[in-house]
Amino acid sequence: MQQPSLPPLTVQERIATEAHTRRERAKALEREASEILAAAKAEVERMILGETNEKTQTLSYNLTLEDTP
């Protein structure tokens, strides 16, 4: 049984570089998502505990406006 031939080394290097770039981008996106999740959890905790900041006050105000006929 014959072994399949490999693409030229330049093509292999380009594929390896692209794979590496995509893995690094995926790691960066995972870190970003983790930071966003942590911030959202902290914001929800502050909302539950009754602490407010400008963002929650704006959100509350906007929700109140939507509820009124």
Work out the percent of the chain whose per-residue pLDDT is above 90.
57
**Is residue 7 scored above 60 in pLDDT?**
yes
**Is residue 67 scored above 70 in pLDDT?**
no
Q: How many domains does the chain have?
A: 1
Task: List the single range of 22-26, 35-39, 52-56 with lowest mean pLDDT.
Answer: 52-56
CA gap 54, 60 in Å, rounded: 10
Q: What pLDDT is attached to residue 17?
A: 98
Q: Could you tell me if residue 1 is inside a domain?
A: no
Q: Under a CB-based contact definition with an 8 Å cutoff, are residues 47 and 41 in contact?
A: no
Q: Could you tell me if residue 56 is inside a domain?
A: yes
Q: Could you tell me if residue 54 is inside a domain?
A: yes
**Is residue 55 scored above 60 in pLDDT?**
no
Q: Under a CB-based contact definition with an 8 Å cutoff, are residues 53 and 42 in contact?
A: no
